[in-house]
Amino acid sequence: MVQRDAELLRRVATIQRFFGRALELLTAPGFEPFPREVNGSSAYGTRFSRGTMLLYTLVNLASGDDVATINVSAGWAFRDCYRGGELLPSRGVVKTKVEGRGIGCVFAQPLGANLPRGYNRFENATASLALTPLSSFSSNWSPLQQTLIDPGTTTPRAAPEADMVRIPGGSFHFVSRGVEVEGDAEPNGVGEQYPWESHPSRAHDKVLNISAFDISRYPITAAQYSEFLNATGFVPNESTRWLHNWNWTAAPPGAQPHLPSEARKQPVTFVSLAEARGYCAWRGLRLPHSYEWQYAAQSTDSRPYPWGTKSSSVGTKPAPVSGHEDPIPADVDAHPAGASPFGVQDLVGNVWQYTDEFQDAHTRSCVLRGGSRYHIACRPPQFGIGNYRNWYNPQAKTLFEHGKYLLMDDSYERAATIGFRCAADV
C-alpha cells in the first residue's frame, strides 16, 4: 500500500471498529445507502440506524475538498466523529468538510442523550488522526526494502562431521525463480531481495563466489531431533502442532512427545523456523543460505535436478501423495539415486527445507527449497485455468525454483511438509 491508502484504511477501520463492534450500528437492519438527506457535489453518504442512534458515513470521490450537507430535524444533537466536536444545525442543515478522496463521519442522538460508553475516547482518537491531512501522505508507490537475516557464522571446521558433506568453494551461477503465481511485472514487491539487488524480485540471477561450507547429507531426521530434545529438555512456550505426528498419548502437559519408531529415519517436520535454528545452534551449526543449498544440490553444470536432467529418473525421489491426511515423508536415505554431484541426498520431492529469512517493515518470510511429497488432488482443467495444483499448491521440484513462506508465529509455521538441514562454515 502507498502511505496515503494505508492511512486512509487506518481511519476507516477506527470508525468501523467502534460503530460496528461496540455499538453494532453497522450490522443493524436500519441501513440505507445514498439517503436523500445527504448532499454534496462529490461527497456521498450512507445512513445507519439502531434505536435512537444515527450514523452517517461519508466519502468524497473527487480529488478536491467538498462540503457534505445533511438535512436534519429538530431535537437531535450531532457530532463530527471524524474531526471531532459538535456540529450545530443551521436552517435545518449540518455541514462537514470532506477532504478530497477522503472520508467523513457524523453521529446523531436525541438532544440530552448521554454519549455511548467509550465514545469520547474514540472521538479523541479519530480527531487526532484527522489533524494530519491525507494529502500530506505520499501516494507514490515503491516496493518495501527487504533485509536478508544473517544466519550467523559457525566455528570453522577442519573436517566435516560424520553426517555432513564438504562443499568446495567456487564460482556459482545462482539462478532461481519463485513459484508464486502473481507478480511478473517488475518491480512489484513480490519475492525476495538479496543484498546485491535493488528491490524484491521473484527471479534472481547472480554469479557468486561461494566459500567452502559443510551441509547435512540428509535432512535432519526425527531421531536426530529426539537426541536434541533429550539433551536439552526443550519444550516450546506454545506447542500447537509441534511435532504433531509424534505420539502425544502419554505426554503430560508441558512435556515432550514420544518419537514413533517408524519415524526415526524420516525428516523431522512440524517444527518452526526458530525451532529448526535452535537444533542447528545446539550443534554449533546454522541453516544454509538458499544459494548454498542450491549449489550443494546442483554443482556448477546448471542441471535442473540433483541427479541430472530427467525429472522422473527411477529411485531419485519419493512417489507423490495426495489426499486429506498429513503426508508421511519417506526415509531420508530411501532414494540414493537422487544424490547431487557432491553426494547430498533427499533434496527434492520429500519435504520443503528452510533456508534464508527476509524481513521488511511489515512482514517476514522464508525461502523454501526442494518441494514436497504432497500434491493437491485436483479435477480436470476447467474454465481455461489449466492444472489447479499449479495454482493452489505450486511446487519447486527443479533446482531453478523456490517457494516463499510467510512467517507469522511458531504454531503457524509448523507443517507436515517442511523440514530442514544444517550448514557449517569451513
Indicate the domain borders of the chain. 3-136, 147-425
| Per-position b or e across 330-358, b if 16+ CB within 10 A of its CB | bbbebbeebbbebebbbbbbbbbbbbbbb
- How distant, in Å, are the alpha carbons of 32, 48, 53, 338, 372 from that of 35? 6, 10, 16, 69, 55
CATH of domain 3-136: 2.60.40.1180
- 147-425 domain in CATH 3.90.1580.10? yes
pLDDT band at 381 (very low <50, low <70, confident <90, very high): low
Residue 311's pLDDT is: 86
Exposed / middle / buried, residue 394 (Cβ in 10 Å: 0-12, 13-18, 19+): middle
Query: What pLDDT digit, counting tens, does each position of 346-379 carry?
Result: 999 999 999 999 999 999 999 999 999 998 766 5
DSSP letter string over 13-30? HHHHHIIIIIS--TTSSE
Question: Shortest CA distance to 80 belongs to which of 36, 137, 131, 41?
Answer: 131
Q: What's this model's pTM, rounded to 2 decimal places?
A: 0.81
Q: Is the pLDDT of residue 389 over 60?
A: no
* Look-up of cell digits 517442511: 418
Helix extents (H) in 316-399:
388-392
Reduce the DSSP state of residue 391 to 3 states and report it: helix
* Look-up of cell digits 489447479: 388
Q: Is the pLDDT of residue 181 over 90?
A: no
pLDDT band at 69 (very low <50, low <70, confident <90, very high): very high
Q: Is the pLDDT of residue 38 over 90?
A: yes
Query: CA-to-CA distance for 306 and 318, rounded, in angstroms?
Result: 14
Running DSSP on this structure, what letter comes out for residue 390?
H
